[in-house]
Amino acid sequence: MKFALLLALLLPLHAQEVPPVAPVPAPPPPAVPDDGVRVSVLGYHDFSETASETEMVIRTSKFRKQMESIKNAGLPVIPMADFQAWKRGEKEIADKSIVITIDDGWKAVYTDAYPVLKEFGFPFTLFLYKNYVDGGGKALTSEMVKEMQKNGATVGSHSVSHSYPGPYRRKGAEVYEKFIRTEFGDSKRFLEEKFGGRVTTYAYPGGIHTAEMDPLAKEFGYEHLFTVLPGKIRRTHDDHRLPRYIILGTRDRVFELATGFNEVAGAPGGHSPEIAPQSTPYPVQPEPGMVIDSRLPLLSADLSTVPDLDPKTLSMKVGGFGEVPAVFDEQTKSYSWQVNRRLRSPACQVAVSWLDSKGKPPEVPLRWSFRIDAEAAYLPVE
């Protein structure tokens, strides 16, 4: 599968099989309120001390240094089970927690990464795809996985075949559903039988998620599903589209961003001239003046405290897009739009307007802007 990964990296973004983004319905009302905690999930692939570094192959010594810096920074590395319990609202965890995940199942996970993780006592999750387990050559064997399970490893699914959905989706709804059922269902059964326990986490191959996957993920008992879009996770984040930083062997900046939690302070030059520190009359996302590292953020305003709001008059305008089809959630009173085309400029302005039932606009207009970290946002898909 390495060849496919490399090929994916070489292709320009638009040439990859990323299906058209389906219209995003209003986000479901957050079941558990935001507790202010942010979690960073790191995604690794292959390791080597001698092979040449690539984006997907990181030097073992560099990996060791990264683990050391996490330890020195006092960032807690938590097991996936704790992350999941926190996400469900069953457990409290520390802010700035780290979750370590490793995709595909390369043998070097066992020979190179595992000794380091064991030394630091860091738990980790292996996202394995069925067809590569015991696949010979550079693949992990199930014995290796079982041994790592004794020392901090847990197993999540990374599909059966590591295929991208595009070709199946183009063949129609029936073929596509069958494909998703196999990738979700057979991998889960296989991994649970082989390694025990319940498999409730999933890493989308290539990070590609489509709306058709959501009901089936639920049906098969997957709770937490990860993309490869970088970003910190909050408790209210959509469980089916959880961000993850793919740590690249050749670009240290991604690791720095993943383990840096003070976004604004970490921005080059602090606040940029076009973005003065701001505050808005109502809570918004991304926060005003924030530097984010995703080009596809969810834009959202919490209007639950607006007096006498007439939802029919709501309108959202986004720089470079004009008026966008934002959706008002009657339950949470949030007004949101999922950016569906990568933001191109380094700063983005958002304006939300409305009238009250007497036709009067708000006293203070709701306008804000945030910045996009250009380098971090340029990340290849897995």
Binding site for Zn ion (CB under 5 A): 103-104
Cα 290 from Cα 267, distance rounded (Å): 9
Q: Give the DSSP per-residue string, 97-123.
A: EEEEEEEETBHHIIIIIHHHHHHHT--
Q: Closest CB to Zn ion among 104 and 373?
A: 104
181 closest CA partner among 135, 212, 156, 211 = 212
Q: How far is the CB of 197 from Zn ion (least distance, A)?
A: 21
Q: Closest CB to Zn ion among 86 and 127?
A: 127
Q: Closest CB to Zn ion among 104 and 112?
A: 104
**Could you say which DSSP state residue 185 is in?**
I
Q: Closest CB to Zn ion among 159 and 236?
A: 159
Q: How far is the CB of 31 from Zn ion (least distance, A)?
A: 29
For the chain, the helix, strand and coil percentages under 3-state DSSP, each to the nearest 5: 30, 25, 50
Q: How far is the CB of 58 from Zn ion (least distance, A)?
A: 15
Q: Closest CB to Zn ion among 2 and 253?
A: 2
Q: How far is the CB of 204 from Zn ion (least distance, A)?
A: 9
The tokens for 187 are 């991998």
The tokens for 103 are 């995709």
Q: Closest CB to Zn ion among 96 and 162?
A: 162
CB 184 within 8 A of CB 158: no
Q: How far is the CB of 255 from Zn ion (least distance, A)?
A: 19
Q: How far apart are the first and last CA of the chain?
A: 11
Cα 24 from Cα 239, distance rounded (Å): 15
Partner residues linked to 336 by β-bridges? 300, 327
Residue nearest to Zn ion (CB): 103
Q: How far is the CB of 311 from Zn ion (least distance, A)?
A: 42
372 closest CA partner among 281, 257, 282 = 257
Cα 297 from Cα 291, distance rounded (Å): 11
Residue 36: left if φ>0, alpha if ψ -120 to 50, beta else—which one? left
Q: Closest CB to Zn ion among 238 and 382?
A: 382
Q: Closest CB to Zn ion among 104 and 183?
A: 104
CB 221 within 8 A of CB 200: yes
CB 227 within 8 A of CB 241: yes
Beta 39-44 vs 46-48: how paired, if at all?
A: unpaired
Q: How far is CA 89 from CA 83, 96, 235, 256, in A?
A: 10, 17, 8, 28
Q: How far is the CB of 372 from Zn ion (least distance, A)?
A: 26
What is the sign of the dihedral through the CA atoms of 128, 60, 258 and 379?
Answer: negative
Q: Closest CB to Zn ion among 242 and 301?
A: 242
Q: How far is the CB of 104 from Zn ion (least distance, A)?
A: 4
Q: How far is the CB of 177 from Zn ion (least distance, A)?
A: 22
The amino acid present at 149, given as its one-letter code, is Q
Q: How far is the CB of 317 from Zn ion (least distance, A)?
A: 38
Q: What are phi and psi of 10, to 5 degrees?
A: -75, -25
Q: Closest CB to Zn ion among 86 and 190?
A: 190
